[in-house]
Amino acid sequence: MSESLLEALDTKTQRRLTSTILLTLPMVLLTAFMYVGGGMPHGWRATVPMILTYVFVNVLFFQMLRTGRTDKYRAAFFITMAITFIISFMTNLIEMRGSLVLSAADMAKGETPFCHMVIPMTIIPAALTRTIIFPGRILGGFADVATMFTLWIGATLALGRGFCSWGCFYGGLDDGFSRLRKKPLIKKISERWTYLPYAVLVAIVLLSALTLSPTYCAWLCPYKAVTEFAAITSSTVVVQTILFYALFIGLVIVLPILTKKRTQCGLFCPFGAFQSFSNKINPFEIRINRDVCKDCQVCAQKCPTFSLDRNSIENGRTRLSCMKCGRCVDTCPKGAIAYHVKGTPLTFNSQRARLLFIYPAFLFLVVFGGGMIRDGIYRILLLISTGSMIR
Ligand code: SF4
Ligand code: SF4
């Protein structure tokens, strides 16, 4: 290679590095404000998690910008968030209520952390009967209703179903398990299963409105297996507990490992089905440039959420369920798929569209997960130094 070519390459690399640093700067400043805005923490056990989380968040964002790859760095955050969520949720609950067991008294007092999965079941009964069917703290306390609703509305408007890859603190579990094997053992799943989440959604909304109780939480939520649960006081609770564990093991662990797909999110979750409709109203989508696409189907094989098939590829659009994780964009050998701002021509600078998407998306990831990761690290340090995760 000639010297002038090497120099030109050097200048190009330097320019790219400078622009990456400049583009990372807003995130560096925003996250600094978020983490130390309320004052510096006291003691090494609080300071170390803050510094580690801050560095982790910003290194991932920097790498996302430097490499032009989205999914790998998103997943590193998303999976860490899910693991630390469980640690943080359980320990906080034990500190607040004294136990992970949910008693009738806790329900009556509204001592139940609010989670976004309940939203489709609460809106319709509230609109029809003015009854709030899920008891949760309205303001203050751990995971209250007001905070969850505000974050959910913001994320929905900005990301649509991207919420399920950039905001949901459960989604990192099946995402993580789906990455454990190099190749899938089960390669084909019939398309009709992808309609199951919509059927579950209709069923739980109707049943919740009829019984004025959150039926999904009571009978079908796999994440009950790793959060709070009812005391085993009757045969009904035994059946419910067996169902929670069976769904968790089947949909969150075993099937994701065998298929390399997010089976809980893509084949069962009614909240995800509900969230799919918000893809219609938010400004971002994933589009395929048909002039460049070679119909190789790699993107359909790689999509973890069953959101691409032969038809959608031919139409140049994903299915409604797309969670905007970016894996198809990263893996298309022809560079034919890109983040796209609705209303702009397909020729609109795709790097710019990606930037416009990943700033708010990553910020939501930090808002939802930053505190959980920090608390998770804190609990691990507490365990190492005192022998217990509970203060
Ligand atoms: S991976 Fe790229 S080239 Fe292959 S079908 Fe998908 S969009 Fe077309
Ligand atoms: S279509 Fe692409 S961006 Fe959407 S969920 Fe599938 S892999 Fe992710």
- Ligand 2 pocket: which of 327, 329, 337 to mutate (most atoms <8 Å of CB)? 327
pLDDT at 136: 56
Nearest CA, atom 6, ligand 2: 303
Among residues 362, 357, 329, 379, which one has the least CA distance to residue 56? 362
Give the CA angle between residues 168, 172, 173 to the nearest 5°: 120
Query: What pLDDT, in 10s, does the model give residues 218-260?
Result: 899 999 888 877 778 889 999 999 999 999 999 999 999 999 9
The answer to whether the CB of 215 falls within 8 A of the CB of 207 is yes
Nearest CA, atom 8, ligand 1: 293
Which of 19-23, 88-92, 98-102, 137-141 is most confident? 19-23
Nearest CA, atom 7, ligand 2: 303
More confident site: 56 or 225: 56
Ligand 2 — pocket residues by CB below 6 A?
286, 303, 305, 307-308, 318, 322-328
From the CA of 307, how far away is ligand 1's center (Å)? 13
Cα torsion 371, 106, 265, 153: sign: negative
The answer to whether the CB of 171 falls within 8 A of the CB of 164 is yes
The token duo for 232 is: 């085993």
pLDDT band at 6 (very low <50, low <70, confident <90, very high): low
pTM: 0.92
Angstrom distance (rounded) from CA 165 to CA 304: 11
From the CA of 296, how far away is ligand 1's center (Å)? 5
Query: What pLDDT, in 10s, does the model give residues 303-323?
Result: 999 999 999 999 999 999 999
CATH number of 284-346: 3.30.70.20
Cα torsion 31, 33, 37, 40: sign: positive
Which-ligand-closest: CA of 290?
1
Angstrom distance (rounded) from CA 119 to CA 133: 10
Where are the chain's structural domains?
3-278+351-386, 284-346
The DSSP H or E segment spanning 242 is helix 235-247
For residue 337, the ligand 1 atom closest to its alpha carbon is 7
Query: What pLDDT, in 10s, does the model give residues 128-173?
Result: 766 665 555 544 555 567 777 888 899 999 999 999 999 999 999 9
For residue 329, the ligand 2 atom closest to its alpha carbon is 2
- Report whether residue 86 contacts ligand 1, using a CB cutoff of 6 Å: no
Amino acid at 374: R
Among residues 381, 362, 388, which one has the least CA distance to residue 51? 381
